Amino acid sequence: MDELSPVRFEHHREALGIGEASPRLSWQVASEPGWRQAAYELAIGDTVFRAESASSVLVPWPDAPLRPREARTVRVRVTGADGSVSDWSDPATVERGLDAESWEAALISPGVDERGPAALLRREFTVDGDIAFARLYATAHGIYVAEINGRRVGDDALAPGWTSYHRRLRYQSYDVTDLVRPGANAIGFQVADGWWRGRLGFVPGARDTYGTFLGLLAQLEITRTDGSRIVIVSDAAWRSATGRGPVRFADLYDGERYDATRELPGWSGTGFDDSGWAACRAGALDVATLVAPDGPPVRATEGRAVRETITTPSGRTVLDFGQNLAGRLRIRVRGRRGSTVTIRHAEVLEDGELGTRPLRTAQATDSYTLRGDPGGEDWEPEFTIHGFRYAEASGDYDDLSAVAMVYHSDLERTGWFACSDELLTRLHENIVWGMRGNFVDVPTDCPQRDERLGWTGDLQVFAPTAAYLYDCAGFLASWLRDLSADQTPAGTVPLFVPRVDFPGPFASPAPTAGWGDAAVIVPWVAYQRFGDVGLLRRQYASMRAWVDGLTAALGPGTLFDKPAMQLGDWLDPAAPPDEPWAAATDPHLVATAYRAHVAELLARIAAVLGEESDAVKYADLAEGVRQAFHDEYVTPRGRIVSDSQTAYALALEFGLLRDPDQRALAGRRLVELVRAKRHHVATGFLGTPLICDALTSAGAVDDAYQLMRQTGCPSWLYPVTMGATTVWERWDSMLPDGSVNPGQMTSFNHYAFGAVADWMHRVIGGLAPAAPGYRELRISPCPGGGLTWARASHVTPYGLAEVSWRRSDGVLTVDVTVPSGCVATVVLPGHASPVEAGPGRHQFSCACRDAADDPEWHPAPFLPEFS
């Protein structure tokens, strides 16, 4: 009979301490082909709720809302249209966190506060009676780690993560039942500067972004077997020490200095003498700003061994982990007490030495002073993170070994892709690593230099790829809440979320196309991929504020030509290294195209939400802006000002050309331009995600393949041929001679150009959503580029979908898996009439040209050759 997954609550991977009182429920069915769900039953505790419904994704919570702290166990079973009834699923437990009224704790700060070292805060307490279970709820101004009776609480890192702290401060809920005991207990916290007041951003000297004092809010609730509760809260009775513990210094950018000779054994246990410590100061905190997580925390997800130990030309020891990643080293070292090991991190080698210039001012240096244990000692920093592949170890020690611990938001992997071209497969792997390195609580541009900000434009282009590779629905939902919270009163979306108002040109956000548009595009993508209409509803006011704010500033049917400064098609290869905005495409053309596109999307969103008059209003707006675009930038026959690949790609993919002749000419012109560059990339952040789709829909999929398979610089595969293990910020972050690009911004781990993976999944793999949440799929692989096989698989909200094709002897064979509850439209190359496929596995085949027959394109340039 059918197998059912346990129920999931909202988008939580772990449903302990959730914020929702009525969490929506989802499950997946593994069914026989042809089976359809007709009804479901949810057993919540002892009560069963039945609904005649085919839905299995984000169905409404049928019971009374959860009260704060309340836990429920939920099981599901389904009835098929054929009358068959499944077994009950395994139980899944949900537990709500606290609401604003539940907080009794006070925000406390160390009595003596000192910048740099982690502060220690502690108290002892007694538990009388037997313990049933215990929860710790905590957050900080800074980043924290808790210990109870000498044992670490939880396995997450960099808590509470980074949100728009003054508007939304996330707290964590931990099950600490196993750490507390009847009788005497102690709890201790280390709190370090983190995002709160550590270095943040690229403006020299920028720190104290959110405040000047560290703070801790902690509430430990111990429930006895008789149901009564003991509550231990942070308050002025806690004791604190700063500058006494082993963490001498900790900063996200600069690294951590740990002196093991200064460890305070037993500091988080009972009987520790803290009489010399200072009393804590209690401060004020608006508990209404406290929020529970929407997605999983940051964790170590993998440890990577040293691939090679290198002795550099200057005689230094550099460990190569063979993979660029975000994380930190876990070392085992033996040596003399008091001697220090220093570890510097970098993504590349330059002239055989650690290449730290791309880090700009981030020091990315950790150090460990040894206790001198004869058997060796283990250490990993807690309060920092680095983007690196190489680590240089120096100092006075006998021996040292290291593992690179990979840290990112602990999302569930849901998407895979591979094909017969090893370089393309490696590119895809690099894109996955680009996501891993940058989905570290916030979607950052890069993980290594003095930046690491939630740049809105980067995520806007990468969101479809991200949503395929990992279940990031909760992660995106959280970030979008910050986006809304951080919009200006005029609706302007900041360039990076959480918003940081640095002095200088970034002091207050100005409307920026492609970046601010994340407000509409990211929720739309999340809706398409995860089927969450509730998210659209929640973000709707934010979307409208962005679009209406622009209308107020620019007028209804107008160009987006103010302010003068737009980021445009950022970092196209024509832009000089230090003028990344100076792209080939007019930035106001780009901005106007985005404005029309986003107004159109908002009209569709309004229709989905039943906001009929808004749907008309935004459709009119879109039409007006399209007309303005047309009047200003398009010739009657269909040439577009700038005459660049990005200009045509935008016009074609955003549906800005209504006249079929104009569209046809624009498509042909785009192909000419792509060939003129001999299939080298000529697009930046905003054109790159569209170019392959634009070629494909212009009927030139072979040119898209040629572009995709190009290995010369600039191209997607050029970095792969240079040994890249992640996606680079620039097409040529490393120049062909192996030197590092001289530009100020030269990251080797930026996901933006990896947005092309979405085309790989949908067009090479042939796996695309055709209705929200993949309830309907479009399966239409387009073999080409000499590939002999490809495979794309994705765990949709309904279960696994897979397309796998191979071609030989003029025959294309396509194996397809359609999840239960879904229907696929299968379109085979050269076959005009699509076929419908229901849940289950199917095989199709058709005549198809052989891989070896794929046109090898011999360009006859229409434009001067690319140099």
> Which residues bind to ligand RAM, rule: CB under 6 A?
445-446, 451, 455, 457-458, 567, 570, 745, 750, 752
Nearest to ligand RAM of 181, 360 (CB atom): 360
Q: How far is the CB of 158 from ligand RAM (least distance, A)?
A: 20
What is the Cα–Cα distance from 414 to 796, expressed in whole angstroms?
8
Nearest to ligand RAM of 480, 567 (CB atom): 567
Residues in Cβ contact with 143 at an 8 Å cutoff, skipping those fewer than 6 apart: 158, 159, 160, 191, 192, 193, 194, 195, 196, 383
Nearest to ligand RAM of 95, 451 (CB atom): 451
Nearest to ligand RAM of 436, 630 (CB atom): 436
What is the Cα–Cα distance from 343 to 368, expressed in whole angstroms?
9
Pairing state between β 169-170 and 412-413: unpaired
Q: What is the dihedral of CA 756, 760, 763, 769, to 10 degrees?
A: -80
Nearest to ligand RAM of 581, 857 (CB atom): 581
In the sheet with 799-808, reading across from the earlier edge strand, the strands are 415-419, 789-796, 799-808, 811-818, 840-847
Using the CB atoms, write b or e for 383-416: b if 16+ within 10 Å.
bbbbbbbbbbbebebeebbbbbbbbbbbbeebbb
Q: How far is the CB of 359 from ligand RAM (least distance, A)?
A: 13
Nearest to ligand RAM of 174, 455 (CB atom): 455
Query: What are the CA-CA distances from residue 616 to residues 295, 464, 522, 549, 711 (Å)?
Result: 35, 27, 22, 18, 46
Reply yes or no on whether 856 is catalytic. Answer: no
Q: How far is the CB of 510 from ligand RAM (least distance, A)?
A: 13
What is the Cα–Cα distance from 164 to 500, expressed in whole angstroms?
9
CB 234 within 8 A of CB 217: yes
Q: How far is the CB of 570 from ligand RAM (least distance, A)?
A: 5
Q: What is the dihedral of CA 463, 467, 471, 473, to 10 degrees?
A: 50
CB 575 within 8 A of CB 647: no
**From 451, 600, 653, 802, active-site residue:** 451
Q: How far is the CB of 256 from ligand RAM (least distance, A)?
A: 24
Collapse the DSSP code of 120 into the 3-class scheme (helix H, G, I; strand E, B; otherwise coil) and give the result.
strand
Nearest to ligand RAM of 25, 446 (CB atom): 446
Q: How far is the CB of 142 from ligand RAM (least distance, A)?
A: 25
Residue 578: phi and psi, rounded to 5, are -105, 15
Q: How far is the CB of 319 from ligand RAM (least distance, A)?
A: 27
- Of 106, 117, 95, the residue nearest 174 (C-alpha): 95
Q: How far is the CB of 61 from ligand RAM (least distance, A)?
A: 38
What is the Cα–Cα distance from 475 to 463, expressed in whole angstroms?
11
Q: How far is the CB of 704 from ligand RAM (least distance, A)?
A: 24
Reply yes or no on whether 377 is catalytic. Answer: no
Count CA within 13 A, CB hemisphere, residue 848: 26
Query: What are the CA-CA distances from residue 592 to residues 103, 193, 815 (Å)?
Result: 48, 41, 42
CB 140 within 8 A of CB 269: no
What is the Cα–Cα distance from 751 to 428, expressed in whole angstroms?
11
Q: How far is the CB of 488 from ligand RAM (least distance, A)?
A: 18
Nearest to ligand RAM of 421, 586 (CB atom): 586
232 by Cβ neighbours in 10 Å (0-12 / 13-18 / 19+) ranks as: buried
CB 332 within 8 A of CB 400: yes
Nearest to ligand RAM of 354, 518 (CB atom): 518
What is the Cα–Cα distance from 662 to 107, expressed in whole angstroms?
63
Q: What is the dihedral of CA 95, 98, 101, 103, to 10 degrees?
A: 140
**From 147, 611, 729, 802, active-site residue:** 729
Report the greatest alpha carbon distance in the chain.
86
Nearest to ligand RAM of 518, 701 (CB atom): 518
| Catalytic residue set | 451, 729
